[in-house]
Amino acid sequence: MSPILIAALVAWVLAQSSKVAIAVLRNRTLEFSWFTATGGMPSSHSALVAALTTAVALHEGPASSLFAIALVFSLVVFYDATGVRRAAGEQAEVLNQIVRDLYTAGEFRTERLRELLGHTPVEVVVGIALGVAVAWVVWRTHGGG
């Protein structure tokens, strides 16, 4: 398997596992849905694309076309994680409050929207740091540098 793919997958697994561990410590229970949940610390999307981009830079060089493509792709993911998806989560939170108010008043009942969709900038930065570190370790252990 490609070291670039290994770095990306390991970073994603570590980030997602970290989120589950943090949730277990915080809630003192384990829910298997947390393994695929979005949002939270650290950003697994950011970790995955940061590891991918770093591994490409280490293996192909920062002047390569492949690195440029990976970097632009990563920047879109980082922006989406802190911008679009976070805004959607905040809107879901407001809509859920409206539904709670209406349900309390006896008007109607509906399912809750998912509120934790995006990430804070800190969650993205931690995801990026995790991804870069994982890519570097994979590169070093697979014959690089």
Helix or strand run (H / E) with residue 17 = helix 3-27
Can you read off the two tokens belonging to residue 117?
């969709």
Residue type, 115: E
Q: Over the Cα atoms of the chain, what is R_g?
A: 18
Residue type, 19: K
Can you read off the two tokens belonging to residue 20?
């589950």
Q: Give pLDDT tens digits along the chain (145 positions).
A: 899 999 999 999 999 988 888 888 888 887 777 676 777 778 888 999 999 999 999 999 999 999 999 999 999 988 888 776 666 666 767 776 777 766 676 655 566 545 555 677 888 888 888 899 999 999 898 866 6
Q: Domain map of the chain by residue range?
A: 3-83+118-141
Torsion angle of C-alpha atoms 93, 37, 16, 64, degrees rounded to 10: -80
